[in-house]
């Protein structure tokens, strides 16, 4: 339960700790090309219908959830954006100036 409560909101902040983006885990801004490429990978579908699109997004959100849960289990609740695995960082469409992720 503690982990799910912590993961309710993910904050992306700049070097002055100003919040540049705050979203629920299931609302993280995914890049459109990532959704399309994963739809091709998972379903051989370059123009995903809503069902395939939702399935792709859910799989990507589960990857984020797993990563953040592991961090929380190790008592880590914020990381420098440069320490976010590139496989996850590359999924996101983020504003410039983000320095840290707080979860």
Q: Say what the pLDDT of residue 6 is.
A: 58
Domain count, the chain: 1
Q: Say what the pLDDT of residue 1 is.
A: 44
- Percentage above 90 pLDDT, the chain: 91
56 burial level (CB within 10 Å; 0-12, 13-18, 19+):
buried
Query: Which residue range(s) make up the domain with 73?
Result: 2-102
pLDDT tens figures, 47-67: 999 999 999 999 999 999 999
């Amino acid at each position: 339960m503690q982990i799910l409560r912590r993961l309710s909101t993910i904050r992306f902040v700049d070097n002055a700790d100003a919040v540049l983006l705050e979203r629920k885990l299931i609302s993280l801004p995914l890049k459109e090309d990532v959704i399309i490429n994963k739809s091709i990978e998972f379903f051989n579908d370059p123009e995903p219908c809503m069902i395939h699109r939702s399935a792709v997004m859910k799989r990507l959100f589960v990857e984020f959830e797993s990563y953040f849960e592991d961090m929380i289990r190790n008592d880590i609740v914020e990381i420098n954006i440069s320490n976010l695995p590139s496989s996850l960082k590359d999924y996101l469409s983020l504003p410039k100036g983000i320095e840290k992720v707080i979860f």
